[in-house]
A and B are shown apart, each in its own frame.
Chain A
Amino acid sequence: MGSIKIRSKRIDGKTQIRTLIAHPMEHGRNIDKKTNQPIPAHFIQELTVTHNGRIIANCTMGGSISKDPYFAFMLKGGEPGDKIVISWVDNLGRKDSEQHIIK
């Protein structure tokens, strides 16, 4: 679906990994102003970050994370050519995954 953007930056031997994900992150308590109906919950539940195939971060979250969530992590080390994969699963079972090579 291409919902994930990944950027990496090498800083003093460390690698900062930033990600921006396009997702509504509806927590289910908002009311649609046009129809006066509640907007069903639709948010990312799990986010996984892997570095060269090993899981380095596993995040669980609720609807209190902003729409189009942004996350940043700092990897100790990290070399150009290393592979970062970020994937998410939401409460409706939809998922997406994106690969990034550190430059």
Chain B
Amino acid sequence: MSVNRREFLKKSISFGACSVAAASGLLSAESANAEWVAENFAPSILEETLKNLFKDQKLIETDKINIKIPKIAENGAVVPITVTSSLDGIENISILVEKNPVPLAARFDLSPELEPFVSARLKMAETSDVIVIAQTGNNLYSARETVKVTIGGCGG
């Protein structure tokens, strides 16, 4: 009896390991380009998120990123944002809300077939800066805009 039990345990463990490997293999194959990284979307402060995303690379402030967002948002649950830029060769655009529990809202990896143009709708917990970071080659450019929120968007 005891041998059977041991063998059963062994088998179940190896089976478990196999299925985990298969699952992770599938995941990486599906999202070859940009993988959803839990670290980037973990609740933290802005500086930590930036460090996770871009290591210690320097952000260059620029006026070539244009953020269209309301100065005053009546409802923090839906804040429309449109980002455009005159920079060449933008590979990705990240949108961060400084004071949200999870600062990174979204990251867009754009192919050269797309214009540097992205629209989305954000949730904002409170009045905060919205930061847009665009990556071109090895350079990181950033721009920010303050949005005053009169009703927070995190419910509760």
A residues whose Cβ falls under 8 Å from a Cβ of B: 14, 18, 25, 27, 29-31, 45-46, 51, 54-67, 69-77, 89
Over the window 107-127 of chain B, the binary record of Cβ atoms lying under 8 Å from chain A Cβ atoms (1 yes, 0 no) is 111110111011111111000
* Residue from the list B30, B35, B101, B122 in contact with A60, Cβ < 8 A: B35
Instruction: Mark B33-46 against chain A: 1 for CB-CB distance below 8 A, else 0.
Output: 11111001100000
Instruction: Give the residue among B30, B77, B106, B156 with the most A Cβ atoms within 10 A.
Output: B106
Distance in angstroms from A41 CB to nearest chain B CB is 10
A71 and B120 contact, CB distance less than 8 A: yes
Contacts of B105 in A (CB 8 A): 61-62, 64-65
10 contacts between A and B (CB under 8 A): A29-B156, A45-B36, A62-B102, A62-B105, A63-B41, A64-B104, A65-B105, A65-B121, A76-B113, A89-B30
Asked if B28 lies at the interface with its beta carbon under 8 angstroms from chain A, I say: no
Q: Are B123 and A46 in contact (CB under 8 A)?
A: no
| Contact status B34-A60, CB under 8 Å | yes
> Is A27 touching B77 in the complex (CB atoms < 8 A)?
no
Q: Are B113's CB and A66's CB within 8 A? A: no
Minimum CB–CB distance for B28 against chain A, Å:
13
B78 in the interface (beta carbon within 8 A): yes
List residues 101-156 of chain B with CB under 8 A from any CB of chain A.
101-111, 113-115, 117-124, 153-156
- Interface flag for B97 (CB, 8 Å): yes
A69 in contact with B109 given A64-B100, A75-B114 (CB within 8 Å): no
B19 within 8 A of A: no
Known: A62-B104, A66-B78. A56 touches B153 (CB 8 A): no
CA distance A46 to B156 in the complex (A): 26
Chain B residues whose C-beta falls within 8 Å of the C-beta of A51 in the assembled complex: 113
The answer to whether the Cβ of B2 comes within 8 Å of any Cβ in the partner chain is: no
Which residues of A are found within 8 Å of B123, using beta-carbon distances?
25, 27, 63-66
In the complex the two chains form, is A57's CB within 8 Å of B106's CB?
no
Docked pose: A64 CA to B55 CA in angstroms: 22
